[in-house]
Structure 1
Amino acid sequence: MASELILLASYEAKNQLQLSLKKAFELLESKLRPPFPLTISNPEEYMHLNQAILYGVLCEPHKAKVHMKHLHAIVTDGYELFLSLLVKIVNELYLKLVDSAKNQLIWVTKEMVDVSAIGIDGLLVCLVRQVVGADFSEGNLWLCSELANLFLCKWDCLLEEEPLVMTSALYAYLRLLADHCRLSVDVKLDALKQLEIKFCVKLLREQFHLCLKIGRDLIRLLQDLVHVPEFKAIWKDLVLNPGKFRATGFLDISQLYRTRTSGCYFLLRITPEMETQLRFLLSCVKFGSQKRYQAWFAKKFLLRPGGEAVVVDIVRFICCSHHPSNEVIQSDIIPRWAVIGWLLTCCRKSYFEAVAKLALFYDWLFFDERVDNVMNIEPAMLLMVYSMPKYMKLTHSLLEFLLLLVDNYDLDRKSIIVRGVSSAFGTLVQKGVVCSMDVLTCCDVLSPFLRERLQNFLLGSNVGAPKDLQPVGVPADPMPLLSLPDMSIMVTPAASQKRKLQARGEMD
């Protein structure tokens, strides 16, 4: 008899997906033993047979190979139906699966990679999303390790058949590594960190042309890992010898600055459950009635040990992946800027608050109205405006942080950043997000020092839409190379790193 697929508490209702799979297995169990009847009469029977085989694979580990031979013999759709069932299990049942079923899930995923099943990229992405950031529980670290091993073991096959899924894995593991490396003295994490480093470095060194597809957020992720020797070496090559990556057309890191990161990457560090709750909050909850929903969300996802590390991922998701319709924007639903303002208050440590602010303003630094979306920069602007005058301290903090980034993020490429931020301000006015910058520059309750700095910036830059910015992927006039970022102050002091390299004689 097959074991159970999931564990349910006594108060939980039976799961319909699990019931349908089990029912198909029990109905067709006699046909799941050799010799197999290889005739399928209709699509409905084919669906039930796929369900039965999948249930057998997950719940009868000792017979899994027999079930897979059966599947290979009867498949007529390139495994598309079988993969869709696997995706549903991962998205709906993963947290409830018994341990043996989780083991079998990884095993059957590897089998599907080997046969280049239709939809394997979607299954791998779903599995990666189940790894929770900054969660050091045994089960979460096990999944993280198993998937890293899978990507390494199936390296050649995935690069040939699904190369873009490797960039998704790279994005996820760079973020996970940042969390894992903060616990540098935890022995149980050492083997996992080395595995993650091996995968990320191998992809960056051998397939950098694929890594470029991530866009500018690749730089943001690498900044968090600059203290790790292997990534410090990668930074040094990015700074001094970009040709070493053998990526055709890649001459300078500023090309990454100008490449917008697709919103699909930000979903990778948001679990499906978290995404569902965030979209509900941002689509259905009225402004003023959100406190109990926020309290529930915080208790579920943020108040656990290390939970505030996820805030940066949520901020990027809200800015770049959740763009509400005009109907929602014009309604009394809680706006994105208000949720982000609340998230910033959830950061108890200054480091997490700083990386969350960088996530909020990151697209401002390189904004080009020809390729970037005003919705990505809208929340930061409205958060500064609507925090006045009641939460003036927040407005001060955000504006000061933005101006600090302009002055210090990358001194060697300050012209790019000035154009990006001025373009952001200009587009926000042009698109009607704010009527004019007077809302800040003429605000009496804003610090005179900040007002003066902002006015000087706006006067000194062509606010509106700089037209001379080079297209994505095309380097501008030759500029000095980017320097190693110093995440201790959350900006990238380019010149200081170049001086350090010169002092050590490493510039040659």
Structure 2
Amino acid sequence: MAAKLVERRSHEAENPIEISLREAFIFLEPNLRPPFPLSIPTQEEYENLNRAILYGILCEPHLAQVHIKHLHGKSTDGYEYFTGLLIKIVNAMFPKLVDPVRIQLLWVTQEMVHVAAVGVDGLLASLLRQIVGGDFGEENLWLCFEMVCLFSSKWVCLLEDEPFILTSALYVFLRLLADHYRVLNVPKIEALRQMETDFCLKILRQEFHLCLKIGRDLVRLLQDLVYVPEFRDIWKDLLCNPSAFKVDGFVDISQIYSIRTPSKYFLLRITPEMESQLRFLLTNVKLGGHKRHQIWFVKKFLAVPERKTVVTDILRFICCAHHPCNDTIRSDIIPRWAVIGWLLKCGLKSYVEANVKLALFYDWLFFDEKIDNIMNLEPAILLMVHFLPTYIDVTNSLLEFLFMLLDNYDVERKEMILRGISTALDVIVRKGVIQSLDVLTSCDRLSPFLKQRLGKVLSDSQVQH
């Protein structure tokens, strides 16, 4: 009887991927032991053989070396089909995989890195996405450890064959470190975060030209680690000694501010299941019928207080990686600003709330109409406008936070930030996101000080344009 890949409750249907792998294994099992057939398979036979070998690797650890040698001898597509199968398993089944299968999955992933398999960067990205922020459970910490070990041990071949996947790992581990450094006196986590720190410092110091591909969100993540001595030194060099990074043409941190972070990085910090639920909420659920979906989402993903740090990642995903079409915007589907307003009211700790607000406004600070997308700005302005009648405290707090960023985020580059915010406000009105900012400046319930500051920024914007 073939072994199982996942833990499945009695009422749950089998995953079709598991069924296809197991059936291929059972059908071809006599051919999976040496001596292997020398015949050249058809495309259908080749795909079936790949499925059978993968099932054997995952479920027969004692024969894994035999199966991998068989795969090496039969692969004719640079392992592309085989790697694609692995990605499907990770995306669709990883949380439910039994422990021995998870171990084998990480083992065969290392083998795919070693042979520079086609698509291995996508496989590594899929595994990185399975690491859950704010989760200090055994299984999640194990995956963190395995992945940082993989990236560290395979540094040379990844740098040669798939250098940009190293920037994905950097993004993930910087984000995880912000969580891990808040847990004290737990030896397992202390050892893990030292490995994560060593990896991040290595790529920041040795391959900074790659790190620049992340764009401005690299600075946002580093800022959250400024209290860690090793990263404080990185921060000092960014601000005062950029030549320390040995990148031709890199002379000021403002150059990073000016690079929009590609949306693929925001996907790295939410699991495929979370992405699926968020996209369903934002494309299918009508405003007014959304509360039960939100309650389920909180129970599923945010019930543990430590897990609420992931709200920052959700905000960046909603603002920068989920841009609804015009038909959805004009419909009665729950809008992005309403979901963000709900998340802000989820009982966040003060430091998490500050990070969430920064995530909401981050693209405002450096907005450049030539490279940035107005859809990144839309949720914040619509949230402030729509919350005026009933939640004026939220609008006041958001505007206050925006002006605090203007005054304090980077004092040396305040002019750049003022230009970014001014441009953002100008584009918001010019492109019709809202008809006029008078809705804010003429609101009697809005703080007089904030209205004065907003008026000053608007006058500066008119001078600039």
TM over 0.5: yes
TM-aligned CA deviation for residue 280 of structure 1: 0.1
The answer to whether residue 183 in structure 2 is matched with residue 163 in structure 1 is no
**Normalized per residue, which structure has more helix?**
2
RMSD: 1.1
1:419 paired residue number: 419
Q: How does 1:142-153 map to 2 (within 5 A)?
A: 142-153=142-153
Choose 398-407 or 374-383, whichever is displaced more.
398-407
Q: What corresponds to 1:435 in structure 2?
A: 435
In the TM superposition, what are the counterparts of 1:334-345 in structure 2 within 5 Å? 334-345=334-345
Contact 1:209 1:247 (8 Å CA) reproduced: yes
Distance 2:84 2:26 in 1: 21
The runs of at least 4 aligned residues of structure 1 exceeding 6 Å deviation read none
C-alpha separation in 2, matches of 1:34 and 1:201? 46
1:185 alignment partner in structure 2: 185
- Cα drift, residue 2 of structure 1: 4.6
1:440–1:451 CA contact under 8 A, matched in 2: yes
Aligned AA (2:321): S
CA shift digits 1:352-395 (9 cap, x unpaired): 11110000000000000010000001000000000011111111
**Secondary structure of the equivalent of 1:306?**
helix
| Deviation digits for residues 310-342 of structure 1 (CA, Å, limit 9, x no counterpart) | 100000000000000001001000000000000
Aligned counterpart, 1:199: 199
Letter in 2 for 1:253: I
Q: Contact 1:311–1:347 at 8 Å: present in 2 too?
A: no
Equivalent residues, number = 465
Is the Cα–Cα contact under 8 Å of residues 422 and 460 in structure 2 kept in the other structure?
no
Residue 405 of structure 1, CA deviation: 0.9
Contact 1:374–1:428, Cα closer than 8 Å, also in 2: yes
Kindly provide the amino acid, as one letter, of the partner of residue 339 in structure 1: V
CA distance in 2, matches of 1:333, 1:252: 43
Compared CA separation, residues 347 and 162, structure 1 to 2 (3 A): farther
Q: Look up the match of 2:372.
A: 372
Paired with 1:425 and 1:443, the residues of 2 have a C-alpha distance of: 17
Alpha-carbon separation, structure 2, partners of 1:93 and 1:460: 53
Per the alignment, residue 214 of structure 2 pairs with: 214
Per-residue displacement from partner, 1:248-279 (whole Å, max 9, x unpaired)?
Answer: 11101010011110111000000000000000
Match of 1:308 in 2: 308
The question of whether the paired residues in 2 share the 8 Å contact of 1:38 and 1:74 is answered with no
What is aligned with 2:238? 238
Give the residue type in structure 2 aligned to 1:56.
G
In the TM superposition, what is the alpha-carbon distance from 1:74 to its structure 2 partner?
A: 0.8
Paired position in structure 1 for 2:102: 102
How does 1:79-118 map onto structure 2 within 5 Å? 79-118=79-118
Amino acid at match of 1:373: N
Query: Percent identical across equivalent pairs?
Result: 62
Partner of 1:275: 275
Q: Which moved more, 1:424-433 or 1:32-41?
A: 32-41
> What is aligned with 2:293?
293
CA contact (8 A) 1:441 1:451 kept: yes
Partner of 2:346: 346
* Code of the aligned partner of 2:85: L
**Are residue 55 (structure 1) and residue 55 (structure 2) matched?**
yes
SS at match of 1:195: helix
Partners of 1:45 and 1:309 in 2: how far apart? 47
Cα separation, 2, equivalents of 1:271 and 1:119: 19
Within a 5 Å distance, the mapping from 1:478-489 to structure 2 comes to: none
What is the CA–CA distance in structure 1 between the aligned matches of 2:162 and 2:197, rounded to whole Å? 21
Aligned positions of 1:488-503 closer than 5 A: none
- The one-character-per-residue Cα deviations of 1:130-177 (angstroms, maximum 9, x if unpaired) are 000010000000000000000010001001111110000000000000
Aligned twin of 2:123: 123
3-state DSSP of counterpart to 1:461: helix
Give 5+ residue unaligned stretches, structure 1: 468-508
- The TM-score with structure 2 as length reference comes to 0.98
- TM-score scaled by length of structure 1: 0.90
CA distance in 2, matches of 1:219, 1:422: 21
Which position in structure 2 is the counterpart of 1:489? Answer: none
Seen in structure 2, the aligned counterparts of structure 1 residues 305 and 452 have a Cα distance that, compared at 3 Å, is: closer
Amino acid of the structure 1 residue aligned with 2:176: L
> Which secondary structure does the structure 2 equivalent of 1:334 belong to?
coil
User: 1:461 and 1:363 mapped to 2: Cα distance?
Assistant: 17
Answer whether contact 1:2 1:60 (CA < 8 A) is retained. no
User: CA contact under 8 A between 2:208 and 2:247: conserved in structure 1?
Assistant: yes
Secondary structure of residue in 2 paired with 1:286:
coil
SS in 1 for 2:370: coil
2:131–2:144 Cα contact (<8 Å) kept: yes
Cross-structure match for 2:25: 25
Is structure 2 residue 410 aligned with structure 1 residue 405? no
The CA deviation at 1:28 is 0.1
Where 1:243 maps in the other structure, the secondary structure is: helix
Match of 1:37, as an amino acid?
Answer: P
